[in-house]
């Protein structure tokens, strides 16, 4: 668990650093892609696969949720069938990580899904705010930078019309 936490914190820090630097340093956008990919593939999907393989049941994950519906839904739906639900989580994390690494519109979709994931984490308790709020801000910043990087320049529409 200590290794997993160190991986999450390292990847999260790199995502934030990339977001802070991406406006002035184009290479930071590439760092952001790799950091999001690493957050969702090795630090997300692989770690959850290991937890599932070890027999973790995720029973206490929603204990801190401040909305009763989240606690009841987690304990009534996810925990009894955790293998299937966590397998879906692993597939989602793999997908987000692969999209993040691809660049362009794929990365934009991956960033949007990563933002949605972190927004959903907020419902699991106040403790997730310390992680999710900075991640949401950084991911929104990276998403905006990806959109700027793939936006056509003003000259491109004129060139397309001339052709």
pLDDT band, very low/low/confident/very high, at 151 (cuts 50, 70, 90): confident
CB 15 within 8 A of CB 39: yes
pTM: 0.89
List the beta strands (DSSP E) in 29-137: none
| Residue tagged 């990580």 (tokens) | 97
How many other CB atoms are there within 10 angstroms of residue 137's CB atom?
Answer: 14
The pLDDT assigned to 162 comes to 57
The pLDDT assigned to 82 comes to 93
The pLDDT assigned to 4 comes to 74
Q: Where are the domains of the chain?
A: 2-162
């Amino acid at each position: 668990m200590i290794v997993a936490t160190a991986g999450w914190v390292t990847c999260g820090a790199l995502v934030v650093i990339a977001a802070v630097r991406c406006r002035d340093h184009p290479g930071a956008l590439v760092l952001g892609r790799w950091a999001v990919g690493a957050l969702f593939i090795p630090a997300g999907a692989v770690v959850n696969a290991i937890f599932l393989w070890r027999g973790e049941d995720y029973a206490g994950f929603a204990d801190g949720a401040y909305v009763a519906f989240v606690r009841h839904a987690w304990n009534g739906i996810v925990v009894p069938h955790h293998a299937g639900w966590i397998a879906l989580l692993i597939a989602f994390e793999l997908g987000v990580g692969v999209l993040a690494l691809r660049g362009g519109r794929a990365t934009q979709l991956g960033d949007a899904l990563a933002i949605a994931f972190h927004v959903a984490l907020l419902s699991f308790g106040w403790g997730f705010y310390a992680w999710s709020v900075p991640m949401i801000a950084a991911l929104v910043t990276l998403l905006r930078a990806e959109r700027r990087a793939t936006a056509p320049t003003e000259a491109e529409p004129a060139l397309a019309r001339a052709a």
